[in-house]
Structure 1
Amino acid sequence: MIRAVLFDFDGTLANTLPFYIKAYDKAIKSIGFKFDEKTIVEKCFGKKEKTVCDSLGVPEKTKEFTDSYFLAVKELFRQAPLFAETLPLLDWLKKQGIKIIIITFAYRWYIDQMLKQYNLDDSFDFTISTDDIVHPKPHPEAVFTACKKLGVPPKNTIVVGDSKSDILMGNEAGSKTVLYTRKEYDLFYSLEELKKTNPTYIIDDLSKLKDIVLKS
């Protein structure tokens, strides 16, 4: 029986991935580089700001890059929408008495800002950001932390996400895992590579999670 669903946020509940490209583009240009979208994804996605600057050979520009990136995120992400299925799914899960958690690689200030923006401050039992743990995804620490707080074993949880790190984290913790993928994600991920992480289920519509919860 599923007692809790642990969601990734970006690219899973909210359509933010295209806005990350725009924010990284501004930050990259601020330190004298210019890349196409594919290169931005390869060099920046899933990496901390210092790692990006180190890989570009400009560690001394980390602060400049970070400041520009954070400013762009705060400005651009006001336009980022939730996926159409997000609110109905969250409401349904609540009615089923299922706990709903966010586990994100993003910073605390960011996830708090986004939930406030969407009026979702009280929609989740709690959220776990990269600032709240020692080992980020794909390490299972965040799942174990959530389960301990909930008093629920991992086997009674589902981890839902759109990336390798989400699925690897959930699998390692002993949760069921759901890979959420969309046609427009081809720029960001290779579906064939994602399948190699062995998610328990793969869906292309968040509403399909309802059937998974009911039969698990």
Structure 2
Amino acid sequence: MEAVLFDMDGTIIKNSYPFPQAKAEILATLRSRGLYVPDDIYGSIANLLEKLKEPPYNDHTNIRGVILSILTKYDFECTGDAKLRRGALGILRRLKQDGYRLGLISNSNLLVVRKVLGATRVYSLFDVVITRECVERMKPYPDMVLAACEKLGVHPSNTLVVGDSWVDIEAGSAAGAKTAYLNTKNTDIPQHPTYEIRKITQLLKILVENGGSTTREAAI
């Protein structure tokens, strides 16, 4: 394994994204414009944004921009209670010390990501940061993983994607990377991650098993 790509919200950062509220406001906005979206894409904002590129939705001026502005509003609301997950700093420092290339892939806004990573003093630990502005499609599509791997100069098959949501696991799998599902809420997902962990510090064992140089417990 050469690189580890982390999700931000809910993974290295312990916070709660108000997805139900964001989704409700987005759908209300669409309906106010006479637009109704099929039920089968409600589970992913990324799928919704892709749908908006198609007729009849793409006939509405800047509807995609309106949706993204709603997402950005909720992104910023999450920054107030953003704190590093216990063990995250030690893991990041240890992996960096051992020569792993580190990336962050987040569906959030770039300014929000910079603010959160700056406030928690971990921005400098990442070799690459990929947000929704950097790619055509957000997670669960593989674009972020592929973009990060390209910038890091590593193959997806030598990369581990770590996240707390099904969109992270699907994005990693679709890109051909290994995946680690951080399941802190004892929630099953239909995707099949390569690994499942309860604590972020358990990544060390995974990397050692894959021939990594990390051999001792990270500081917590």
Q: TM-score range by the shorter chain?
A: 0.7 to 0.9
- 1:201 aligned partner, one-letter code: Y
Aligned mates of 2:202, 2:196 — CA distance in 1: 10
Range with bigger deviation, 203-212 or 146-155 = 146-155
Deviation, structure 1 residue 119: 1.6
SS at match of 1:122: helix
Q: How does 1:63-212 map to 2 (within 5 A)?
A: 70=72, 73-74=75-76, 77-183=79-185, 190-191=187-188, 194=189, 196-212=190-206
Confirm or deny: 8 A CA contact 2:169 2:193 kept in the other structure: yes
Superposed CA RMSD in Å reads 3.4
- Asked whether the 8 Å contact 1:78–1:117 carries over to 2, the reply is no
Decide which moves more: 64-73 or 171-180. 64-73
Check 1:75–1:98 CA distance in 2 against 1; reply closer, same or farther (3 A cut).
Answer: same
Count of equivalent residues: 192
The change in CA–CA distance for 1:66 and 1:146 in structure 2 (over 3 A counts) is: closer
TM-score of the superposition, structure 1-length normalised? 0.73
TM-score where L is the length of structure 2: 0.72
Percent identity (aligned): 30
CA distance in 2, matches of 1:76, 1:140: 24
Secondary structure at the counterpart of residue 11 of structure 1: coil
Counterpart position of 1:40: none
Q: Corresponding residue for 1:34? A: none
Question: Secondary structure at the residue paired with 2:112?
Answer: helix
Could you tell me which residue of structure 2 aligns to residue 213 of structure 1?
A: 207
C-alpha separation between the residues in 1 aligned to 2:68 and 2:148? 29
CA distance in 2, matches of 1:176, 1:65: 31
Paired residues of 1:23 and 1:76 also in contact (CA < 8 A) = no
Task: Give me the whole-angstrom Cα distance separating, in 1, the residues matched to 2:130 and 2:14.
Answer: 19
Corresponding residue SS for 2:125? coil
CA contact (8 A) 2:128 2:152 kept: no
Instruction: Report SS of the residue matched to 1:87.
Output: helix
CA distance in 2, matches of 1:142, 1:83: 22
User: Post-superposition shift, 1:72?
Assistant: 6.0
Does the 8 A contact of 1:180 with 1:204 survive in 2?
yes
Which residue does the alignment assign to 2:18? Answer: 20
CA–CA separation in structure 2 for the residues paired with 1:171 and 1:161: 12
- CA gap of 1:73–1:6, structure 2 versus 1, over 3 A, is closer
Structure 1 contact 23–73 (Cα < 8 Å) conserved: no
The residue type paired with residue 11 of structure 2 is: T
Distance 1:8 1:67 in 2: 21
Identify which range, 173-182 or 133-142, moves more after superposition: 133-142
Which ranges of structure 1 fall in alignment gaps of 5 or more residues? 32-42
Give the whole-Å Cα distance in 1 for the aligned partners of 2:105 and 2:99: 19
